[in-house]
Amino acid sequence: MNRAPIGVFDSGVGGLSVLAELRQLLPHEDFIYLADTAHIPYGARPGEEIRELTNRAVAELHARGVKAVVVACNTASAFSLEHLRARFEMPIIGLVPALKPAVAATKTGVVGVLATPGTLRGTLLQDVIHTFAGPAGVRVLTAVSAELVPLVEAGQANAERTREVLRETLTPLAEAGADQLVLGCTHYPFLAGSIRAEFGDTFALLDSGAAVARHTRNVLETAGLLNDHHQQGKASYFVTGDVEAARPVFAALSTGQTEPLHLAAAGG
């Protein structure tokens, strides 16, 4: 099993930001990336539906022979990790908002979290706030927009409408003195350029990608599942929605991709 691929799942293209970190830290591993583009966004869906969609996606990755799955979606992680770990006998790695380093780094005592509606509804974010911010006396402010994920999915991460939404969403955090901004969705690292264009160095931007990659490496090493080949790993990509509609966005956001992009329909 150590030469089997690692599965990476997200509701859309956001998890590509996590995949880039995984491929950098684990260059000899093969990856299968699955995006549930037919049902994105997850944020406004009921928790039970999020769990069902996530279960379905992880079951497909399991059927494709993966040795572990990284749930590269904050909303899916917030609602589904316990259920997935009870169902599948393989490592399941989820996302935790990067609040701990934000609390450690803040000079103003105010930290902002840019999240999706689903992540705010789940208990994971509140648990992390209670664990790390409360004891440190750090104030945590949350901001949410239902528009940002669809804009990234449409390849509009740097569009004027995206910057307008970011201005509306993040200005209250800036005015309240937040100096750290936790990107609580895997789509949001692709907005870093637009956030910088609007707010300069007001916020330090923090996401979970690098930490998840390190945790994944540690989990695989402990389980004896690291690939012992020394050749460059490959990645394959699958979507549940329209392949041709997704292709240009995947091509634009697959940072560090050296091999030709292989994108196909899931379930085939």
Q: Which distant-in-sequence residues (6+ apart) come within 8 Å of 228 by Cβ? A: 2, 3
Tokens of 38: 């037919």
Torsion angle of the four alpha carbons 46, 124, 105, 186, in this order, in degrees rounded to the nearest 10 = -40
Torsion angle of the four alpha carbons 157, 159, 163, 166, in this order, in degrees rounded to the nearest 10 = -40
**Euclidean distance between CA atoms 249 and 63, whole angstroms:** 26
187 marked as part of a ligand binding site:
yes
Q: Is residue 96 annotated as part of the catalytic site, yes or no?
A: no
Q: Is 229 helix (H, G, I), strand (E, B) or coil?
A: coil
75 marked as part of a ligand binding site:
yes
186 marked as part of a ligand binding site:
yes
80 marked as part of a ligand binding site:
no
- Contact call for residues 172 and 104 (beta carbons, < 8 A): no
Point out the catalytic residue in the list 20, 22, 71, 73.
73
What is the residue type of 171? T
62 marked as part of a ligand binding site:
no
Q: Is residue 167 annotated as part of the catalytic site, yes or no?
A: no
Q: Return the DSSP state at 191.
A: G
State the Cα angle at 36 between 220 and 112, rounded to 5°.
75
122 marked as part of a ligand binding site:
no
169 marked as part of a ligand binding site:
no
Point out the catalytic residue in the list 185, 191, 225, 246.
185
188 marked as part of a ligand binding site:
no
Binding region for substrate = 10-11, 42-43, 74-75, 186-187
**Residues acting as catalytic residues:** 73, 185
